[in-house]
Structures are given as C-alpha cells and as structure tokens.
Chains A and B, each alone.
Chain A
C-alpha cells in the first residue's frame, strides 16, 4: 500500500481571529483574548499578529502583556462562538473525508488517502480547504501535508498564516530535523530540559539518537519520540463520530454562594438540568439514569443515581428525579458548596419511544415541544431570553448558564492514555 496522505489544519490565532472578524473596529489594533481577572482566569488565551509582534505570549498574565504593549485591547472569550466556528470548520473538512480527528477546537487531522483520486493530491486539497475557510468563515488556516500525523502537525506550524507546507519522505530530513526538539508533539518543558542536558536540541538529534538510550532517561516515551522524529508514527486518524463516543452528559457547578435550603438546591438542579437536557438533545441522546453529585461546605461529597421508567431528555424529568434523590439522601447537616447533575446510560433519541398507559403521555408530548421551542428561542435570542419563573427568585443563583460556560478541553493524541 502506498503512503497515507494526512493533513493537519490549524486555524490561525483562532480566538483572536474570530473576535476580529466580529468586531471590525479592533482589527487594526493589537488584540488579546483573555480570561476573566475577577474569576482569577486573567491570562492571555490568544492574540492577533499585531499583538504577537510586541512579544506577547499565550499564557502570560494580563499585566505582563500590558507592559509589553500598553495599547493592547483585551477582550473576553466567547466560547459558544468559537465552538460554532470549530464546527463550521469541521463541516468543511468532512466534505473531503470521514476521517476527521479534532485536536482541540482549532486543530484537526484529516486522512485524505482515500479521496485523492476524487479531489486531487494532498496539496490541492489543502489549498482548497484554506481557500474555503477564508471565503466561507472569514478566518485563515495553515495546513501541513505529510504521510503521518506528527509531521502533518509540524507542517501546519511552520508557515503561518494561510499557508500549505509539505513534509514528504524526501524532504523531511531537511525540513523537520533542524527544528528545535520542543516543536515535536509531547516534548514539553520537562522533556526539553532532559534532552538539552544530554545535548539533544533538535528533532534531528532525537532521530539520530539510539532509542534505547532515549528510553533510559525518558522511559517508554523515549522510543515514542524517536519514532515520531523519524516519521515512523503510524497512528490512524480516527473516523468521525468514533472520536467522541459520548458516555454521559453532565454539568456541575460551585455555586456563587452556599446553598442552604431545598429551594436553593432545586433552583440549581433546574439550571443544571436545563443545560444537561439541552446538550443531550443537541447530540441526539436520551438518558435512562440520572446521577447527582453533592459536595458540602466541608468538602464532604457523595453521589447517588436513580433510574427513569423510560429514556428522557426533558429537563423537568431530570430536575424532579434529581430533587427526589436529593431529598432521600441529604439531611442538611451542612450548607452545600457544589452540585452536579449527569445523565447517563444514554440511548439514541432517534429510536421509537414506547408510550405508556399509566403516564400522562399528552403532557409529555407537550413538554417535549415546549423544551424544543426553548432550545430554538435560546439559539436565536440568547440563553437568558427565556427563563423558568423559579429562577427569578434569586438573582445570584438564577443567572448561571452552565451550558455555555462548559469548557471543552483538547483531546489527547493517544486515546485513553494508551501508548502506541
């Protein structure tokens, strides 16, 4: 079999690019997307090229960045928007192959080996993807083309923005090997220091080293890095859908103030259940079991679960069952600090639902429509355009929006921590 053709697409300065796209007035200024200093999240998450030129680095605290660039514009992150752009980019990728493996929000690998006879070679596909991202999304991407995932990712990092880089069996020794070791996936600061102390500073040095020697001070990772550096990585690009086998959908929250009564807890259960239910609907799931997680002021925590008589994605079902479980299992020895609700035992919402004789099915069907309508209203007019009346009673607890505060962490390169 011939070599695989792997693409790695990286959306340039993703958060900052999306912000600049949505706010024309800031496009020509140095911009950094930063977390909320009040919540102690005040670090630079992304920056545009003007900000980058002043030496600002991702991960710096805001005041450090300001020292380098006093006129820096700091904007808060808008995750739902980034999620949407991530999805839009992925839908462009999926028109070329079903093997699309996202790596975080802004990066993805594509295995186009099977599609080159339809769309042309890897370079053509890469250029076309860049063109489409520019014209359809209004942001730019760098794409690396290679015969394995590691080199493809290195390629996408080499020329930015809006460029295609090819790393082939013929040129990788000239292109990849002079790069500093730290560029290689999974060479973090600790590993870099360990390598540097032994005089290994480039990827070429790693490739040239004896794998047994690397193993002696890096453990199993030594051999893995050696195979990465030599282009021997053969890990597959996961098929779409496979990469995110969802087992459960849950939200939890440490509340702005301690909860002291059943009413408080019920309010939070409604807030969390609405988010969990909306996310289940979004992904096309119903759950058969709900779990609650309670942690009190002294950090004592416990979880219990209960089964539904049939699968559901209704927030009212989740919240009521959660409350029932809570009432049975908690006796208010302490105020509560954090609460979680999780739907598990998921089934496809697509399947037929067996109606029941002894339940009020007409009410359920109506409830279904109500919640679907709420989804649409929130999609168009924002989360707080429609609220349960019970949440209006408390303006501290009622204003939480766990669905959109839900942060997606990048997935690991190796699934479930396994080594190849």
Chain B
C-alpha cells in the first residue's frame, strides 16, 4: 500500500473518522483506524467501537499501490493533525509491520495492528428508506438534541427519536423536564410508518458532517441499527432499544396565556439571573416570572448571595395574568436561545403556574420546546 496526499485532505478525513474508534476496549482492534487504498475509490478510512462506526473516503490522492493497514486511531489522528502543510506519503512496510509516514525530508512510522479480526460494519442488509436535505436534518438535530438527558435510568431519554408517520418525520428529544420537537413534511408517498431512537453521541458525530445545503443525506435502518450516508461518507449507529413515551400527548394544545417577548431582552434577563450562585437550599438555578398586565417581572433569589428583580416592559400579554411561574433558568435559556437567532420575538404559551409551557418562534409551527415549570414551596 502506498499513496501520496495533501496534509489538509488527509487530516480532515482522519478527523471525521477517528472518534468512532474505541478509546479503551478489551478488543484492541476496535481502537484501530482502518486505512484502505484502491485505485478506483482512492483512500478510505473506517473506525468503529461497534456502537457507532464511520467510514469516509476521498479521491483526492495519488494511489501508487493498493492495500490496507490498521493503526491506533487516536494516535494516528494526533500525529497527522500536527504535520506541516505539505504532501504526505503513506507507505506500508509489510515485513516490519510499520506504516511509514513521510513528510518533506522528515519521516515517522506507526506500528500496525493485526487486521484479521477487524469487524465489518453490519450494513449489508440495510435498505434505504428516507432522503432528507442535509440542512433540514442539521437544523432538526440542533434544535432537539440539547433536550436529551445525559444520563437517565430510562435509556430512551438519552437519545433522539425519529418518528415517521404518514408524510411527517417528527424528531423529538426529552429528559422528562423539557421536550424539543421538530417536524418535517416528507414527499415520499411510499414510506412506511416507523420510529427509532439514536444515541446523542451519534447525533453529535452526524452534526459534524452535515452541511448547510439542499444536497440530501440518505437514511437506512434495520431493527437494531441505522445508517446515515451520502457521497464518500457513511455513519452507522446502534439504536437505543425501548419504547419512547407518547410525546404528542404531552405537547399541550391549548393555553390560558400567551406572552410575546423581545428575544434580546429575554436572553439578557435570563443570563443575568443565571449569575446568581446556587445555595444549599436551591440546588438548581431558578427564576420566577411574575406576570402583570403589560410587563413581566423576573425574580431570582439566593439566601446566601442576594436577589435580582428584573422587569421586562412592553411584553404582549394575551389571556390570564397576575400569577407566578418558576423555571429552571438553564432550561429556559436553552430554549430561548434556540429561536433568538432567527426571530426578533419569542412566544411563550402558559397554562397556570404548574402546567407545561411552550416556547417557540411565533412565525414557525414546525419547531417548539415544551418546558415544565418548577413547583415552588410557597
């Protein structure tokens, strides 16, 4: 195996792939990055820890001899990243089990792994089911994944749900305290209703390759696995097993109050509120909203440190007012930030002090965040 390639090209391909390798694993080959070189496909790299797997190729290289090698993924990536911007030669020396890396007058080598046991990605029996514009999937994931739980005893809450029904694809994430919902109309008449849950790690890797274009990415799945693929790139992932709870039921459809805030002013008030340190009594950042006829007072309090009373004037209040409702400040801010960049206004729909609220861009109905309030002791 031998090829020459520009450093920038090699480095970006490596960066895309290596994180799928196992950091530590009882099976050493899973820590590997598989490098394959062929005249028709150019350079292909694969890494997998069997939870997720990434394969990507580039034709922008000069293949001198076909072949393959398996190297430690994290070390190889670190090393390649640090190389100077020049043409790099990768050359396998079978006898000494080394991958030689030549750059200018300098060189290094990396010991290779035995490649016999390297697993194939379980992608053979997959059938394509869905194509989405990359920018749609990108936005959908960005607007939902933040709401998934980092850890939860019900594993489904650590993933993002893809729910295909009729002509809709609903993408949902929730940690039970908040829920982010995104819906997209798909024009594929033959599609079968189906749903699957992908881990947040997969979402984060996917977000790295999705571009802001109308070019599509294809999705295929079996009962246990899903694959996202486009030209020269493929991401395989295990699915999270389990039944996602009925999310449609918990998205409220009617409200008693609608608040319309200036996005900028709302973000400023919440960021100020979050500066308040936590005290022993209240272990989460919280802010209490006091609704008046045309304004909302934001109250933040810590027994130890102090108190902030922020008044946002000129809030459009439709429906009931003169009540208080408290939220986890971080959750609130996450939701508001989702829409602040695209809209001058943010709407918040409420049903009393304890009912779930809905935060969204008032101009859009395809995307929203449900936020459950805090129950205060007063």
Residue of A nearest to B375 (CB): A353
> Interface digits, B316-337 against A, CB 8 Å rule (1 contact, 0 not)?
0000000000101000000000
The count of residues in chain A whose C-beta lies closer than 8 Å to any C-beta of chain B is 17
- Whether the Cβ atoms of A354 and B177 lie closer than 8 Å is yes
Chain B residues with Cβ below 8 Å from A355 are: 177, 354, 356, 372-375
B250-A354 in contact (CB<8A)? no
A355 vs B178: C-alpha distance when bound (angstroms) = 9
Does B174 lie at the interface of the complex (its beta carbon under 8 Å from any beta carbon of A)? Answer: yes
Interface segment out of the listed A11-19, A37-45, A344-352, A376-384: A344-352
Q: Chain A 349-363, CB within 8 Å of chain B: the 1/0 string?
A: 111111111110100
How many angstroms from the CA of A358 to the CA of B177 in the assembled complex?
Answer: 8
B176 lies within 8 A of A356 (CB): yes
Let me know if B370 is at the binding interface, CB within 8 A: yes
In this complex, what residue of B is CB-closest to A309? Answer: B153
Judge whether A351 and B373 touch: CB under 8 Å. no
Whether the Cβ atoms of B377 and A352 lie closer than 8 Å is: yes
Give how many A-B residue pairs fall within 8 Å (CB-CB).
57
Question: How many Å from the CB of B280 to the closest CB on chain A?
Answer: 8
Interface residues of B in 156-177 (CB under 8 A from A): 174, 176-177
Do residues B174 and A357 form an inter-chain contact, with CB atoms below 8 A? yes
Minimum C-beta distance from B19 to chain A (A): 32
Q: Specify which chain A residues have a CB less than 8 angstroms from the CB of B364 in the assembled complex.
A: none
A353→B374 contact, CB < 8 A: yes
* Contact A357 to B176, CB < 8 A, known contacts A348-B281, A351-B282: yes
Chain A neighbourhood of B373, CB < 8 A: 355
User: What is the bound-complex CA distance between A359 and B280, given in angstroms?
Assistant: 27
Do A357 and B372 touch (CB < 8 A)? yes
- B284 on the A face (CB < 8 A): yes
Determine if A350 and B281 form an interchain contact, defined as CB atoms under 8 angstroms apart. yes
Chain B residue with the shortest CB-CB distance to A362:
B354
Determine if A365 is an interface residue (Cβ-Cβ < 8 Å).
Answer: yes
Which one, A348, A358, A365, contacts B245 given CB within 8 A?
Answer: A358
Chain A residues with CB under 8 A of B250: 357-358
- Compute how far the CA of A352 lies from the CA of B280 in the bound complex, rounded to whole angstroms: 12
Q: Specify which chain B residues have a CB less than 8 angstroms from the CB of A357 in the assembled complex.
A: 174, 176-179, 250, 356, 370, 372
Whether the pair A352, B372 counts as a contact (CB closer than 8 A) is no
Chain A CB within 8 A of B376 CB: yes
Bound Cα distance from A189 to B356, whole angstroms: 66
Per the bound structure, the CA–CA distance linking A365 and B328 in Å amounts to 19
For B194, list chain A residues within 8 Å (CB).
none
Inter-chain CA distance A309–B373, complex, in Å, is: 17
CA distance A358 to B152 in the complex (A): 14
Cβ of B208: which chain A residues have Cβ within 8 Å of it? none
Contact A349 B372 (CB under 8 A): no
Query: In the docked arrangement, what's the CA distance between A28 and B377, Å?
Result: 49
Tell me the A296-353 residues at the B interface (CB within 8 Å): 307, 309, 347-353
For chain B residues 344-378, which have a beta carbon within 8 Å of chain A?
354, 356, 370, 372-377
Q: How far is the CB of B88 from chain A (nearest CB, A)?
A: 52
Residues 146-175 of A at the B interface (beta carbon under 8 Å): none
The 8 closest A-B pairs by CB, nearest first: A352-B374, A355-B372, A353-B375, A357-B250, A356-B176, A358-B245, A354-B177, A351-B282
Taking A348-B280, A351-B283, A358-B176 as known contacts, 5 extra A-B pairs with beta carbons closer than 8 A to each other, sorted by chain A number, are: A351-B281, A351-B377, A352-B286, A355-B354, A355-B373
List residues of chain B with CB under 8 Å of any chain A CB. Answer: 153, 174, 176-179, 245, 250, 280-284, 286, 326, 328, 354, 356, 370, 372-377
A-B contact pairs, 17 of them (CB 8 A): A309-B153, A349-B377, A350-B281, A351-B283, A352-B282, A352-B286, A352-B376, A353-B374, A353-B375, A356-B176, A356-B177, A357-B177, A357-B178, A357-B179, A357-B250, A357-B370, A358-B176
